[in-house]
């Protein structure tokens, strides 16, 4: 068992991944809907706060940043801290392969603030928006939308606008200034582990920006 404190401040313990979870990680259909990740978290979380028998709801209740953090920690306890990436240069004329090492233990973690609800007065319209964090329930709903976009990403976190239930129209018709302010307010209270890899191509200098977990080498090192 490996104990951790999550970005939300909750405590947990996880066990290593087995072949059962490896099968889930290769099931593209279950990955797309979020089912695979939820099942993996449920399998591998052996304790959350004081609880040891976790239900599917316990896993969905986890905040987005905690879930992301757990995925990285599951990789660390199962396969080690070091990830070797082979990044292909995005410049069409180059396409050189760049070998990069990432130590997952070095990734910066941003903790969540203690509050779970926030209020912002929008700078343009003067409207008051109450919003919360993204969690597993909302992630599943977003994954099920055929056209999930930036508007849905904001809408799903809004509790009310001037005391009224939000709808897509209200968020779409907001001025860019208000949408920008709302996006920034949401981002400012998000906890997470930053898995961004920023580097430049060794051959041509083109910037390469990616997420460490987006690569095959993350869960399946040396499989190519």
Binding site for Zn ion (CB under 5 A): 89, 91, 94, 96, 201, 203-204, 206
CB of 120 to Zn ion, least distance (A): 42
Pick the closer one to Zn ion by CB: 89 or 107. Answer: 89
Q: How many CB atoms lie within 10 A of CB 82?
A: 12
CB of 198 to Zn ion, least distance (A): 15
Pick the closer one to Zn ion by CB: 172 or 204. Answer: 204
The helix (run of H) or strand (run of E) holding residue 99 is strand 97-103
CB of 54 to Zn ion, least distance (A): 45
CB of 86 to Zn ion, least distance (A): 13
| CA-only gyration radius of the chain, Å | 19
Pick the closer one to Zn ion by CB: 98 or 125. Answer: 98
Cβ-Cβ contacts under 8 Å for 216 (sequence gap 6 or more): 223, 224
**DSSP conformational letter for 84:** E
Pick the closer one to Zn ion by CB: 125 or 206. Answer: 206
Q: How many CB atoms lie within 10 A of CB 69?
A: 25
């Amino acid at each position: 068992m490996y104990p951790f404190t999550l970005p939300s401040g909750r405590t947990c313990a996880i066990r290593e991944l087995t072949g059962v979870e490896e099968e889930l990680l290769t099931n593209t259909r279950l990955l797309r809907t979020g089912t695979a990740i939820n099942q993996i978290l449920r399998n591998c979380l052996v304790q959350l706060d004081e609880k040891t028998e976790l239900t599917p709801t316990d896993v969905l209740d986890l905040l987005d940043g905690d879930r992301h953090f757990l995925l990285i920690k599951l990789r660390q306890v199962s396969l080690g801290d070091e990830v070797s990436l082979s990044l292909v240069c995005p410049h069409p004329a180059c396409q050189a392969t760049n070998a990069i090492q990432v130590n997952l233990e070095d990734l910066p973690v941003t903790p969540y603030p203690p509050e779970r609800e926030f209020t912002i007065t929008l700078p343009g319209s003067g409207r008051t928006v109450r919003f919360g964090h993204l969690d597993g329930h909302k992630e599943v709903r977003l994954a099920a939308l055929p056209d999930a976009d930036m508007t849905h990403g904001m809408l799903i976190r809004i509790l009310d606008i001037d005391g009224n239930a939000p709808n897509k129209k209200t968020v779409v018709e907001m001025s860019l200034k208000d949408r920008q302010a709302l996006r920034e307010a949401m981002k400012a209270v998000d906890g997470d582990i930053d898995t961004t890899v920023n580097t430049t191509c060794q051959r041509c200098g083109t910037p390469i920006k990616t997420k460490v977990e987006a690569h095959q080498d993350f869960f399946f090192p040396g499989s190519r």
